[in-house]
Chains A and B, each alone.
Chain A
Amino acid sequence: MQRGLNPFLTFLFATLIVLFTGGPVILSLIGSVVPDRILLDSSKALFSEGLNFETYRYVFTGQLPDSYLAETANRAMISDAARQVPQSLLNSGIIAFSSMVLNLLIGAPAAYVFARYVFPGKKLTFMFLILSPLVPAVALVTPVYIMLQTLGLVGTQAGIILVHTAKALPFTVLILSVFFRKMPAEIFEAAVLDHCSRFQTFWRIALPLALPSIGATGLFAFMLSYSEYMFSMVLSGDAATRPVSVVMAALARNTDVSWSLLNTAIFIAIVPTLVLVVFVWRFVVEGLLSGAVKG
């Protein structure tokens, strides 16, 4: 067997992956800084008028782009929904962060118990947990809505946080329990001999060792919540509590929408996740690498 991959093939696949993942991001970035009249006019070069940040100005301040101040301009192209983007980013941040924290608070101990202890009903409950994501979300919308309505949580962020936590929890528990199970049993036995209680063994030994995995699963829970649309749409209330996925959908639903404005909103919505991935991912990779070096 030849070790390593053919560099040409590696490059080819890397390029394809970048094209499909990074491509849309780049396109939306370009689209956001070029005004509509140039975007839609194939006779003009893309950057013939330089960079234009008017749509950004509109999103954050509400001041209309100059070209739409003209009498003849179609005012409907500048959708009001775009004005909700900054607030919705904050809302999504709060929801996704809370859902991530809840996931780790509940998921990490649960995964630890599944990985290290034997208790009645362990197999059944684990199976239930792992199979639950197989139920199509659409089928759950109505029952979940009714449940949250009884609890008085429809139209609140708390309701969305709960649903997102529940959606990500099976993955958190599965990934973390695999990681906890891989830890050598002797370390935990040593901890028992070193006067650790069950909780202390979890808190002082298992958790610090699992930090890279916890970072990864936390990030996963965050992004799952950040991009979730259906439950967010059904359960969210007025503009003040609406998450970004719902606002983006509303924006895209406007068939007349200004391309430039739409791209601006898309790019603004991507930025927080990009920042998060860059920071958390480095930590996760470092952690995984240091854990891998043993002997």
Chain B
Amino acid sequence: MASVELKNVAKSFGRVEAVRDVSLTVEDRELVVFVGPSGCGKSTLLRMIAGLEEITSGELMIGGKPMNAVAAADRGIAMVFQSYALYPHMTVAENMGFALKMLGTEKAEIDRKVAEAAGVLQIEELLGRKPRELSGGQRQRVAIGRAIVRQPDVFLFDEPLSNLDAGLRAQMRVEIARLHERLRTTMIYVTHDQVEAMTLADRIVILNRGRIEQQGSPLELYEKPANRFVAGFLGQPKMNFIPTIAGRSQAGTTLAIAVSGRTVLKLGEGVPVTDGSEIELGVRPDTISIAGPLADLAVPGRIVVVEHLGGSSLLYVQVDGLDQLLTVEQRGKADFAKGQEINLLFDTGQSHLFDGGGSRIGSG
């Protein structure tokens, strides 16, 4: 059991800065997910914690002890790799017990611990097999089992599910969540999949270009994204972004689509926007409602594509003055057809406003 602390940690490969000035504390027993687009430095950060990558500057503490100079094997961590990294020439049991064997643990003790971990993961019947005789999901279980056997203070997962198909991924996601519940160990999990991040994490750390964009609980990040990047990254389907111009008058503040000039939203009191400033309006697809043509501030549009998902439908709507189609999510069995004209209504309370630099100003 241990916390992980990063203080102003940075990593450069030659001239390329992969991680810049990251400060972060992962509390004891917390499951923190590093998420971000590929190349954002999330895996590098994890590998620095593991000791597989040297830390260029800054300090790393695990369980309150400085770890910069400690060898990877002695940091009290166990890592699950994306490719599983099982030893092909060893059986499952040998794979799982290898670290203990290298430490000189007695055979009986190794067998006991391997059996115990195999029990947790329900892979007892696989112990005598070689990795090549296992399916992807089974290999991943063995890789996790190998980590469990070491009884680490911190588990590190490096995109462990990205080689699995969608169904298996969902199943393993639940299993990892249950495993965390059961082991109550600090876990750091790296993924590029925002669904994995949202469902697994106690806390999400969003990385972009080697920096932390924002960290917080999944809902916190979903509801109050600090900037346009976070807003666009989390949420499926993605948030719609609409370039608008703010207008202040005695009647209040309004936002109008930049190109067409059509007013789309009336802002509440106290939203700090100046007259004529460019504001990017962020609207999640499920907060857009469909109104009658006479409704105040309704935005007319034409449906270009309809995707029926069963429980809900996704409408891709062409709106005058916008380059990109707006995504609208409708719950229930909605009856919409391609080419249909509809009127959209944005919800003031659930809209996000971003300034020119992409920072969030507030909600409407």
Known: A193-B78, A196-B73, A293-B132. 4 other contacts (CB 8 A): A186-B83, A195-B73, A195-B103, A196-B102
Is B99 a contact of A195 with CB atoms below 8 Å?
yes
B-side contacts of A294, CB under 8 Å: 88, 132
Is B81 a contact of A189 with CB atoms below 8 Å?
yes
Tell me the bound Cα distance from A191 to B213 in angstroms. Answer: 33
Chain A window 186-215, contacts with chain B (Cβ cutoff 8 Å), 1 for yes, 0 for no: 110111111110001000010011000000
Is A205 a contact of B87 with CB atoms below 8 Å?
yes
The 10 A-B residue pairs with the shortest CB-CB distance, nearest first, are: A186-B85, A194-B99, A195-B102, A190-B85, A195-B73, A208-B89, A186-B81, A187-B85, A194-B98, A186-B83
Is B89 a contact of A190 with CB atoms below 8 Å?
no
Chain B window 71-105, contacts with chain A (Cβ cutoff 8 Å), 1 for yes, 0 for no: 01100011101110111110000000011001100
Tell me the bound Cα distance from A295 to B99 in angstroms. Answer: 25
Q: Is B271 an interface residue (CB 8 A)?
A: no
Q: Nearest B residue to A187 by beta-carbon distance?
A: B85
Tell me the bound Cα distance from A193 to B158 in angstroms. Answer: 14
Tell me the bound Cα distance from A209 to B136 in angstroms. Answer: 20
A-side contacts of B81, CB under 8 Å: 186, 189-190
- Identify the B interface with A (CB < 8 A): 50-52, 72-73, 77-79, 81-83, 85-89, 98-99, 102-103, 132, 136, 146, 150
Q: Is A61 an interface residue (CB 8 A)?
A: no
Tell me the bound Cα distance from A12 to B86 in angstroms. Answer: 44
Q: Nearest B residue to A188 by beta-carbon distance?
A: B85
Is B79 a contact of A190 with CB atoms below 8 Å?
yes
A-B contacts at CB below 8 angstroms, number: 55
Given A184-B83, A187-B87, A209-B88; A193-B98 close (CB under 8 Å)? no
Is A193 a contact of B79 with CB atoms below 8 Å?
yes
A-side contacts of B83, CB under 8 Å: 184, 186
Kindly state the interface size class of chain A when it binds its partner: 20 to 34
B-side contacts of A208, CB under 8 Å: 89
Is B102 a contact of A184 with CB atoms below 8 Å?
no
A-side contacts of B79, CB under 8 Å: 189-190, 193
**Pick from A186, A196, A293: contact of B82, CB under 8 Å:** A186
Tell me the bound Cα distance from A205 to B132 in angstroms. Answer: 16
A-side contacts of B85, CB under 8 Å: 184, 186-187, 189-190
B100 to chain A, nearest CB (A): 9
Tell me the bound Cα distance from A294 to B136 in angstroms. Answer: 10
Give me 27 A-to-B residue pairs in the complex whose CB atoms sit less than 8 angstroms apart, sorted by A's number. A186-B81, A186-B82, A186-B83, A189-B79, A189-B85, A190-B79, A190-B85, A190-B86, A190-B146, A193-B50, A193-B51, A193-B72, A193-B73, A193-B78, A193-B99, A194-B73, A194-B98, A194-B99, A194-B150, A195-B103, A196-B73, A196-B102, A200-B102, A205-B87, A209-B88, A209-B89, A291-B88
